[in-house]
Amino acid sequence: MTMIPPGLLPEGLSDRLPPQAEASARVTRTVLDTVARHGFERVMPPLAEFEETLASRLKSAQPQDLLRVIDPVSQRTLALRPDMTAQVGRIAATRMANAARPLRLSYAGSVIRLKASQLRPERERMQVGAELIGADSVAAATEIVTVTIEALQAAGVKGITIDFTLPDLIDTLAAGHMPLSDTEKEAVRTELDAKDAGALAALGERAAAYLPLIEATGPFHAAMDRLEAWSAAHGGALDDRLKGLRAIAKPIDWDIRLTLDPTERHGFEYQSWFGFSVFADGFIGEIGRGGSYAIMRADGSEEAATGFSLYPDPLVDAGFGMVEPRRLFLPLGHDAARAAALRGEGWQSVAALSDSDDGSALRCTHWLDGPEPRPYGC
């Protein structure tokens, strides 16, 4: 093998440098602080677990996403976590099984996947989120959506869109009011994913009954009106779900754009009745997502949960979270007490260590002239 150049990192692994690293930490902190104010308490699961137990709880990630480690100590295969929600579920189901419900937990940390994708060139990402365990009610979903929006707004994200979905909608209808065989169901799903009305109609009469779902996509209230009319015409098949969605949307501020894509399922495969994606102006792709799901208890039964998670780094890359600090150069012989007082007022100080230190080159915005900060260039 050839020598690896000293600065080269493996594909998909990279350094975050100033000021992006600081901005990334700031976004993470803001999300954690926001959810903490709503009673979510921090957990810190380990970076790696036994592959077997981790894989059994994976939700948005798949076993083939795992980067594996042969552990000489346990003589087992470990896997680095590709996602933290599975770990939070494990904690809720085992060590915190007896904690009162609903249990509100938050988390932040690096997650690693085996492979990058074109959409996600990074194999390691920071993930931050909150999970409400013991409830998947409308009230739980409302809290999670509200907290998600509050956290993103606190992080400076503007032009937020929440896109609602009903992940198990097709399963529910196919098993009830609008029967489909498993084969038909897969075909219907494929055409709904492609939003291909012609192909859906061509699948036959039972499949064609699902056609109105394609049109019930787009701006929330118009799409809901259509779905509600359709539900009423089908014996109220979706009334409970739609009533729930209306209740979740109700407390959301008017400046948040709401959309509905009732049959969207990409990435929501593991979710139960409710899911949502978050988008923002000037940001390509999804910022974060959440919804309701089930956690496996230690006895094999299921416990309802609702949560959200997001990835701060793409937000930072899109320019969110950046703050220009007031950075103050302290010349040799400066007044240390005055400098400490200014740090207390929010200044970052950079103390000269020798005559040759150059405050301007060290990206200071000001220098301490006697007791007063003076801007460079004035």
Q: Which residues sit in the known binding site?
A: 83-85, 113, 127, 131
Closest separation between CB of residue 346 and a second copy, Å? 8
CB 90 within 8 A of CB 57: yes
Contact with a second copy (CB under 8 A): which of 327, 334, 368, 373?
A: 327
- The window from 123-131, 271-279, 284-292, 370-378 that contacts a second copy (CB under 8 A) reads 123-131
**Closest by alpha carbon to 44, among 121, 128, 137, 115?**
128
The bridge status of strand 124-133 relative to strand 103-112 is antiparallel
Among 27, 31, 58, 78, binds a second copy (CB under 8 A): 78
221 scored as a contact of a second copy (CB under 8 A) = no
Task: Say whether residue 258 binds a second copy (CB under 8 A).
Answer: no
Pick the stretch among 135-143, 181-189, 202-210, 284-292 that binds a second copy (CB under 8 A).
135-143
Q: Does 63 bind a second copy (CB under 8 A)?
A: no
Contact status, residue 41 vs residue 105, Cβ threshold 8 Å: yes
Interface with a second copy by CB under 8 A: which range of 4-12, 190-198, 225-233, 370-378? 4-12
Distance (Å, rounded) from C-alpha 11 to C-alpha 73? 28
Residue 136 Cα distances to 25, 160, 292, 313, 346, angstroms: 30, 24, 6, 29, 42
Label residue 216 exposed, middle or buried (CB < 10 Å: 0-12, 13-18, 19+): buried
Q: Footprint of a second copy on residues 359-378 (CB under 8 A)?
A: 361-363
Q: Is 18 in the site for a second copy (CB under 8 A)?
A: yes
* DSSP helix/strand/coil, 322: coil
Which segment (91-99, 155-163, 165-173, 273-281) binds a second copy by CB under 8 A?
A: 91-99
Partners of 68 in beta bridges: 79
How near is the Cβ of 166 to a second copy at its closest, in Å?
20
Residue (of 143, 88, 171) closest to 276 by Cα position: 143
- By the rule CB under 8 A, 323 interacts with a second copy: no
d(CA 67, CA 80) in angstroms, rounded, equals 6
Least Å distance, CB 186 to a second copy, is: 31
Output 1 or 182, the one with its CB closest to a second copy.
1
Is there binding between residue 42 and a second copy (CB under 8 A)? yes
